[in-house]
Amino acid sequence: MDGVLIPPLNFSMAAPGIYRSGYPNSMNHAFMKKLQLKTILYLCPEDYSEANTAWCRAHNVQIVQCGILPNKEPFQFIPEDVVADALRVLLDCRNHPILMHCNSGKHRSGVVIGTLRKMQGWSLTSIFDEYRRFAGSKVRILDQQFIELFRIESVTYDKEYAPRWLR
């Protein structure tokens, strides 16, 4: 399998300089190297794997963690401020190219990308269509509700370093 590049589960380019995926493993490292990443934005509260941490250290990739607990009935909800923090990291071109990921690349990643799309002015129909394509049969209504009610004005970021596609 030498020379074969294997992207992480649910890998996709979300915007120029921003990629999303599920949790990468050592089989994905050669692919990730080709992306010339500056940053990995990890959306889970658990410690990052030693293999990925070592790879990041070896390739001068900074790891930023915004530990988001998933939306789950009946009493667990994503805090808006943590999503705003994740967006602040994504919207700083000094962090690009950046790979944002959670465990499967479906729910937490879908919520952050959904709120990013809202900031880009996408319609809710288009945002939810993209969310459902990644979530498959595991769609969470609470995630879609979070995206719909998310206040984009709660996201403060340095406009000097914002991506051109957001301006």
- Choose the catalytic residue: 56, 66, 93, 102: 102
Contacts of 132 (CB under 8 A, 6+ apart): 139
Active site (annotated) includes residue 66? no
Angle (CA) 149 122 103, round 5°:
70
Exposed/middle/buried for 57, CB within 10 Å: 0-12, 13-18, 19+? exposed
Judged on CB neighbours under 10 Å (0-12, 13-18, 19+), 16 is exposed
Sheet holding 18-21, edge to edge: 12-15, 18-21, 98-101, 39-42, 62-65
Cβ-based neighbour number of residue 77 at 10 Å: 14
| Residues with a known catalytic role | 102
